[in-house]
A and B are shown apart, each in its own frame.
Chain A
Amino acid sequence: MSSLSKPARRGPAPYTNPYLAGIGLGLVLLASFVVMGRGLGASGAFSSACAVAVDALAPAHAQANPFWKEYLESGVGHPLKEWLVFEVLGVLAGGFLSGLLAGRVRRTVEKGPRISTGGRFAFAFVGGALMGIGAKLGRGCTSGQALTGGALLSAGGWAFMLMVFAGGYGAAWFLRRQWQ
């Protein structure tokens, strides 16, 4: 529609070289160690939000469960004024900024060529649920355990990371029709 009034739009920019992106990510992680004395994370912020939701709906029930209680008692005066919650808000902002600069912000559904959109949503939801469970058992996800724990030479972090790759490669064959 507006293609005539605008100069031909260039496609999305190519991704950054993985080694350069890795150095950038590593320097952000190093900055977190030096400034805060802690690494990066993601899944913990989801837990804080989940605990606050459970507490809002059923306060007595939430307080009786040590899992929710721990998240409800953390944070700077409020469970959502929590370090990882603010870090994750930054991740959303930083991801959006990078995508905007590269022309990659576009409403779309990422899927393989042979799966329907509804099927993709169902798989995404189930995969997310497995991640939620796995991240709580593992005390973190790819960010908090594999990346941060990996750089700190944490024994649990390395065991976790190796199992993530094992689980991924083990499942890949069964799910090849979704992606390839």
Chain B
Amino acid sequence: MNAPLFKFGLFGDEFSLVVAFLIGIGFGFFLERAGFGSARKLTDQFYLKDMAVFRVMFTAIVTAMLGLFYLGWLGWVDLSLVYVSPTFLWPQVAGGLLLGVGFVVGGYCPGTSLVALATGKLDALAFVAGIFAGIFAIGEAWPAISGFAESSALGRLTLPEVLHLPAGLVVLLVVLMAVGGFWGAAALERRFAGRGAGEGS
């Protein structure tokens, strides 16, 4: 098998949009199944009451990472043809912080807000309007802030390269970290479940 299939010309640009729609259906379906169309379910992660966000996210990361690593090792997928978004370290650190704050202020992230909207949450409509406002603002400001926003451009950079470790070892470390995190998440939930704001300390 020669994969990624699209990169080997198995189908063209027009059909890739059909694939996009189908993959999106799967994405939205499992986000909703997990309960991520609910802002309260999502934000409970940050009050240590329900760590479903961490569990779903890291199970998905480990599943896709192990699958891709294994298929690459078998020679079925050319890993160099899988697009890794280039690293812009400091802008991404700042962007991640803003996104994390926005998550707790707004209750969703862009993907989950769409699932919430699709299942009738009116607050998600306000959130989506906010996303457009934020993108419009930073798009207009981009020429003025590009000095920072395009700084620390490190290109395609992966953790094995940063840590000078074999990819297989980093994959193993991520799996161990996830399993340790799942164990810790259960312990935190036992401690914080049922606790409201202002109670206890």
Contact = CB atoms under 8 A, between A and B. Distances in A.
Interface string A137-150: 11111111111111
Contacts of A123: 105-107
A-side interface size class: 35 or more
Contact of B136 (A32, A50, A175): A50
A82 B64 CA distance: 24
B92 A160 contact: yes
A124 B33 contact: no
Interface of B: prevailing SS: helix
Interface centre among A39, A92, A151 (most CB of B within 10 A): A151
Interface in B86-145: 86-89, 91-124, 126-140, 142-143
B37 A131 contact: no
Interface in A74-108: 76, 81, 83-99, 102, 104-108
Contact of A94 (B29, B121, B161): B29
B187 interface: no
A138 B34 contact: no
A10 interface: no
Contact of A130 (B82, B99, B115): B99
A180 B67 contact: no
Contacts of A159: 87, 89, 92-93, 96
Contacts of B162: 155
B103 A167 contact: yes
A131 B110 contact: yes
Interface string A168-179: 111110011111
Interface centre among B45, B127, B134, B143 (most CB of A within 10 A): B134
A30 B110 CA distance: 21
A33 B80 CA distance: 11
Contacts of A51: 139
Given A28-B27, A50-B136, A160-B96, A90 B21 contact: yes
B34 A140 contact: no
Interface of B: 3-7, 13-14, 16-35, 37-41, 43-47, 52, 55-65, 67-68, 71, 77, 81-89, 91-124, 126-140, 142-143, 146, 149, 154, 156-162, 167, 170-171, 174, 196-198
Given A25-B34, A163-B96, 8 more contacts: A19-B55, A23-B63, A67-B139, A91-B28, A127-B104, A131-B108, A142-B109, A142-B110
Interface of A: 15-16, 18-19, 21-40, 42-43, 46-47, 49-51, 54, 65-68, 76, 81, 83-99, 102, 104-112, 120-172, 175-180
